[in-house]
Amino acid sequence: MVFETEEALLYKAQEARGKTFSEIDQHGRLNSKRSTGALGQIVEESFFGYEVNSNAEADFSNLGIELKVTPFKQNKDKSLSAKERLVLNIINYMTEADKNFYDSSFWKKNQKLLLMFYEWKKELNRGDYKIIETLLFEYPEKDLAVIKSDWALIQGKIRAGLAHELSEGDTQYLGACTKGANKNSLREQPFSDVPAMQRAFSLKQSYMTALVRQYISKEKLVYFSSLEELQEKTIEQLLNDRFEPFMGMTMEEMAEKLNIQINPGNRSAVPNLISALLGVKGTKLDKIAEFAKANIQFKTVRLQQSGRPKESMSFKNIDFNEIINEEWEDSYIRNYFLETQILFVVFQFDNNDLLRFKGIKLWHMAMKTINNELFNFWNEIRRVLTEGVILTQSKKGIENNFPKSNFNGVLHVRPKGADGSDKIKLPDGQWITKQCYWLNASYVAEIVKEVK
């Protein structure tokens, strides 16, 4: 079936709203063992009536539109989010190095996307998933400026012979995600003899979540930067520009300059300062477009006069039943550090014991650290759970044999419950004070040591 206009294509696509994949499937694709691609194939073959292909051009080539069928889910707090990143086309390192952006394989295939969102529910069979929304998506100008910068960074690593060092954390909206059956899915690269993991261009899960919330939940996001700024500088450079005038100030002095009221002891003090100095006063940080789409989350670091953080840095409480049943590739902790950028907002005590703003650091965990220290940490927790959690009485209270701060210099496990009675049940039936993932204070110190 050939569609002569975008309007005709979109009209047809919108007929799928409210339909399940069982209702659409005419070729028995639901019986396929493949759990992901098959749903896209059902729409391609049974709904639009064209054969599945792996052409370099867009699916509806005469219109320059690529079809993507993608899932979202409802979270425990009732908010919606994308279930996964949107994988686009395979990166051919040998040819991509010579392209400009508008000649790139990414742009030629994905400059316009026909997005069909379906709701994923754990309790449903695939055939019962329902298509909720369809839309013809073109990148907003501000987003396109960031995506061009992301593409240039990916291409720059290829040109430098570093395709094997690509990481999704390198970029903001457009990622280079691994794409292959396993770690042996390798490709040659033009400026190095080192084989590189096969990767594909992808729109990050955080970017897709922003689209889900915009088009399905009807939420609005606010940009802190202008189009002109994004065309000239990276998000990181713009953040540095916004924060720089406040260097050396106390929180109270920052608030006075920004004409806002804060309580420095309140958890909302720093996010209120951030939104105000970015020029979007009162906006929650997860409603700032650049933060939401790039999955930028902030952490406050308070340094002692020596430059060492006052304490280690806590993250999510550990779900031990989840961790013992998950695979590494799908693990919470791997995907958190793979997909999250942390904006460290750094304060330091001066000689008068006043806490003063020192600077910021936009950081993501290095791929080498994820594959080594983070994996070993995750694996050690699973080993302890499998072989048995040993709880012993000490002067400090009940001790356990989960990895401590001397395990690998990066992470450790320790309690973060309201008090000693705030407990959870382990898979073996024992009860333990709620435990949390922590980044070692020494590791955080290393991350922020360049902040001046």
- The answer to whether 72 and 117 have CB atoms below 8 angstroms apart is yes
Which contacts of 239-246 are long-range, i.e. CB under 8 A and separated by 24 or more positions? 239/343, 239/360, 239/362, 240/360, 242/277, 242/278, 242/279, 243/277, 243/345, 243/357, 243/359, 243/360, 246/277, 246/357
DSSP 312: -
Query: Which positions ≥6 away from 308 have C-beta within 8 Å?
Result: 441, 442, 445
Return the exposure string of 328-359: e unless at least 16 CB atoms fall within 10 Å of the residue's CB, then b: eeebbbbbbbbbbbbbbbbbbeeeeeebbbbb
- The answer to whether 46 and 25 have CB atoms below 8 angstroms apart is yes
Token readout for 117 is 């969102």
Which residue in 299, 151, 149 sits closest to 238, CA to CA?
149
- What's the CATH fold of domain 6-215? ECO RV Endonuclease; Chain A (3.40.600)
Say what the pLDDT of residue 172 is. Answer: 96
Token readout for 297 is 């989350």
Pairing verdict, β 66-74 and 112-119? parallel
Helices (H) and strands (E) in the chain, counts: 17, 19
DSSP 179: -
Say what the pLDDT of residue 230 is. Answer: 97
**Torsion from C-alpha of 299, 304, 308, 313, nearest 10 degrees:** -30
Pairing verdict, β 66-74 and 355-363? unpaired
| Residue 312 exposure: Cα atoms within 13 Å on the Cβ side | 19
Name the residue ranges covered by the structural domains of the chain. 6-215
DSSP 45: I
Q: Could you count the other beta carbons within 10 Å of the beta carbon of residue 421?
A: 8
Q: Which helix (H) or strand (E) holds 135?
A: strand 130-138
Q: Could you count the other beta carbons within 10 Å of the beta carbon of residue 36?
A: 12
3-state secondary structure of 157: helix
**DSSP letters spanning 159-193:** HTT-GGG--GGG-SSEEEEE-SSSTT-EEEETTEE
Q: What's the distance, CA 217 to chain centroid?
A: 20
Token readout for 290 is 């650049």
pLDDT in tens, the chain (452 residues): 789 999 999 999 999 999 999 999 998 888 766 545 689 999 999 999 887 766 778 999 999 999 999 999 999 899 999 999 999 999 999 999 999 999 999 999 999 999 999 999 999 999 999 999 999 999 999 999 999 999 999 999 999 999 999 988 889 999 999 887 566 789 999 999 999 999 999 999 999 999 999 999 999 999 999 999 999 999 999 999 999 999 999 999 999 999 999 998 899 999 999 999 999 999 999 999 999 999 999 999 999 999 899 899 999 999 999 999 999 988 999 999 999 999 999 999 999 999 999 999 999 999 899 999 999 999 999 999 999 999 999 887 889 999 999 999 999 999 986 676 789 999 999 999 999 999 999 999 999 998 97
Place of tokens 């496990």: 413
The packing angle between helices 375-387 and 332-339, to 10°, is 170
